[in-house]
């Protein structure tokens, strides 16, 4: 080799550094590429993406051929520099030392750091292009790579390490999906982003969190006089109503008010009319996840279900609209006679009904009440005192000062909630 002209050896050195840089580019781009984007490209028919997926399915082989090439080239570069130094300066130790420093610097800058920074910035382009070179190289050097990996697997077994398979390493949790959605804010509209996050929460939220409590439900007694039934249906502001016989515990059906109107005889709605249009009620157990309930609505082609506890007692009802509002936000209009469950005061506080759901307060007023315990504001206050408080008593829950305005029948009816205290106010 010492007989080769100096310029030929210099050209060969540059060529070796460039080839080493290619392997560094390939290594970083393959490890940094977005696997989900890669599979999307593969489904669209991108051949480079398919080759890349095959390479990444066997990471040990891929890294084996890359590092084999990289180390062979770097070693060859160091050897060539030693020959060049010997040719120019005979066997001068200082010149050999300086040559070693120079080739180390060149490898770091031109074959390692710079290519890897570029590959980290453009992993997709480089990985797809390099797959066309790495695939045949892996076939050619497979015996060598296989032999090296024998020792690698032996060391892993010695340390009792078992790397996960490619598909296992790509599993993603719900929390990680939420993070991806939040970080994708530049590509997803804020409203769509909010809907996706709400959709992920459907498994954690149960019907208890969104149901209308029994005490707030308007229902019809089919055993009542026809005049009472007619008046109630003509003045109600709901499209569907539960029907009971004599007592609220005895639910016998659900009616669609429009269907009852269509069956009117001589301008009157009677119990017989209700019996004709009444549908069988659907009962669901307390604690049913909203996502499961949404599927039940779809399978049964139903829009309303009654929630019962473990003793079979009727607790409330949940509708399809309640679940949709958890995903896309409130969209239904309230009845004209329905008073808002919270009213803003001039001092910035809110007058809130004790039966208001905590999830509703958090969503509509941007409060931060805990949701892992009681479902209503009344329940939260009763849990705090472990007793029924009297009107005029003040308290603080989750940083929100409150005042009990009215209690009735062992229930907190009205509460005034003041703006949340700042960290400084809480300390003082």
Residues 220 and 262 in one domain: yes
Assigned domain for 72 exists:
yes
Residues 268 and 368 in one domain: no
Assigned domain for 210 exists:
yes
Residues 266 and 126 in one domain: no
CA distance 159 to 352: 61
Residues 147 and 210 in one domain: no
What distance lies between CA 353 and its chain's CA centroid?
Answer: 32
DSSP 58: T
Residues 354 and 313 in one domain: no
Assigned domain for 179 exists:
no
Those residues with Cβ within 8 angstroms of residue 52's Cβ, 6 or more apart along the chain or in another chain = 30, 33, 38, 127, 128, 131
Q: In which domain, by residue range, is 290 found?
A: 205-319
Assigned domain for 325 exists:
no
Residues 32 and 69 in one domain: yes
Residues 362 and 413 in one domain: yes
Assigned domain for 183 exists:
no
Asked whether the beta carbons of 202 and 326 are under 8 A apart, the reply is yes
Those residues with Cβ within 8 angstroms of residue 423's Cβ, 6 or more apart along the chain or in another chain = none
- Report the CATH number at residue 395: 3.30.465.10
Last residue of a domain, one of 117, 149, 169: 169
Residues 212 and 300 in one domain: yes
Nearest in space to 144 (alpha carbons), one of 74, 72, 73: 72
Question: For residue 371, with 0-12 CB atoms within 10 Å meaning exposed, 13-18 middle and 19 or more buried, which class applies?
Answer: middle
Residues 209 and 290 in one domain: yes
Assigned domain for 119 exists:
yes
3-class DSSP state of 97: helix
Residues 145 and 260 in one domain: no
Assigned domain for 336 exists:
no
Residues 399 and 308 in one domain: no
Token pair listed for 361? 């307060």
Those residues with Cβ within 8 angstroms of residue 320's Cβ, 6 or more apart along the chain or in another chain = 294, 297, 303, 304
CA distance 327 to 333: 17
- Per-residue pLDDT tens digits of the chain, which is 428 residues long: 556 677 888 899 999 999 999 999 999 999 999 888 898 899 998 999 999 999 998 888 999 999 999 999 999 999 999 888 888 887 788 888 898 899 999 999 999 999 999 999 999 999 999 999 999 999 999 999 999 888 888 888 888 877 766 555 566 777 777 777 777 666 677 777 778 888 887 878 888 888 888 878 889 998 888 888 888 888 888 888 899 998 888 899 999 888 888 877 556 788 888 888 888 999 999 989 998 999 999 888 888 999 998 888 888 999 998 888 888 876 655 554 444 567 888 888 899 988 888 888 888 888 889 888 888 899 999 999 888 888 889 999 988 999 999 998 888 889 999 988 765 554 55
CA distance 228 to 251: 18
Count of domains in the chain?
Answer: 3
Cα–Cα distance list, 102 to 14, 77, 93, 95, 313 (Å): 13, 11, 14, 10, 83
- Report the CATH number at residue 298: 3.10.580.10
3-class DSSP state of 168: helix
Assigned domain for 195 exists:
no
Q: How many CA atoms are closer than 13 Å to the CA of 128, on its beta-carbon side?
A: 16
Unique residue bearing structure tokens 């990444």? 56
pTM over 0.75: no
Instruction: Provide the pLDDT for residue 426.
Output: 47
Instruction: Provide the pLDDT for residue 273.
Output: 81
Q: Backbone dihedral region of 386: left (phi > 0), alpha (psi from -120 to 50 degrees) or beta?
A: left
Last residue of a domain, one of 319, 351, 373: 319
């Amino acid at each position: 080799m010492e007989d080769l002209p100096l310029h030929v050896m210099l050209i060969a050195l540059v060529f070796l550094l460039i080839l080493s840089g290619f392997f560094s580019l390939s290594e970083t781009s393959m490890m940094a590429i977005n696997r989900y984007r890669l599979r999307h490209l593969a489904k669209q028919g991108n051949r480079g993406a398919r080759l890349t997926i095959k390479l990444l399915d066997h990471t040990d082989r891929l890294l084996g051929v890359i590092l084999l090439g990289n180390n062979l080239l770097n070693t060859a570069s160091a050897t060539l520099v030693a020959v060049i130094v010997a040719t120019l300066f005979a066997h001068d130790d200082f010149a050999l030392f300086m040559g070693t420093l120079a080739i180390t610097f060149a490898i770091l800058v031109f074959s390692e750091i710079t290519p890897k920074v570029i590959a980290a910035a453009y992993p997709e382009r480089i990985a797809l292009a390099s797959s066309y070179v790495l695939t045949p190289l892996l076939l050619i050097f497979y015996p060598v790579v296989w032999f090296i990996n024998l020792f690698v697997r032996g060391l892993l077994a010695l340390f009792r390490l078992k790397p996960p398979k490619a598909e296992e390493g790509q599993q993603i949790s719900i929390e990680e999906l939420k993070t991806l959605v939040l970080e994708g804010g530049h590509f997803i509209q804020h409203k769509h982003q909010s809907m996706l996050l709400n959709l992920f929460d459907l498994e954690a939220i149960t019907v208890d969190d969104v149901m209308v409590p029994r005490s707030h439900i308007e229902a019809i007694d089919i055993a009542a006089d026809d005049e009472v039934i007619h008046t109630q249906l003509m003045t109600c502001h709901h499209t569907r109503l539960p029907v009971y016989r004599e007592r609220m515990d005895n639910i016998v059906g659900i009616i669609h008010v429009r269907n009852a109107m269509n069956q009117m005889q001589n301008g009157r709605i009677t119990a017989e009319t209700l019996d004709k249009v009444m549908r069988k009620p659907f009962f669901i157990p307390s604690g049913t996840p909203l996502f499961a309930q949404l599927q039940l609505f779809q399978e049964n082609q139903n829009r309303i279900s009654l929630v019962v506890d473990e003793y079979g007692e009727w607790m409330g009802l949940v509708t399809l609209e309640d679940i949709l509002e958890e995903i896309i936000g409130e969209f239904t209009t309230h009845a004209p006679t329905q008073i808002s469950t919270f009213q803003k005061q001039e001092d910035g506080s809110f007058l809130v009904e004790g039966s208001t759901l905590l999830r509703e307060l958090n969503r509509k007023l941007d409060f931060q009440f805990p949701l892992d315990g009681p479902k209503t504001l009344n329940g939260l206050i009763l849990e705090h005192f472990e007793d029924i408080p009297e009107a005029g008593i003040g308290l603080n829950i989750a940083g929100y000062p409150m005042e009990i305005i009215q209690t009735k029948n062992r229930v907190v009816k009205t509460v005034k909630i003041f703006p949340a205290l700042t960290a400084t106010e809480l300390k003082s």
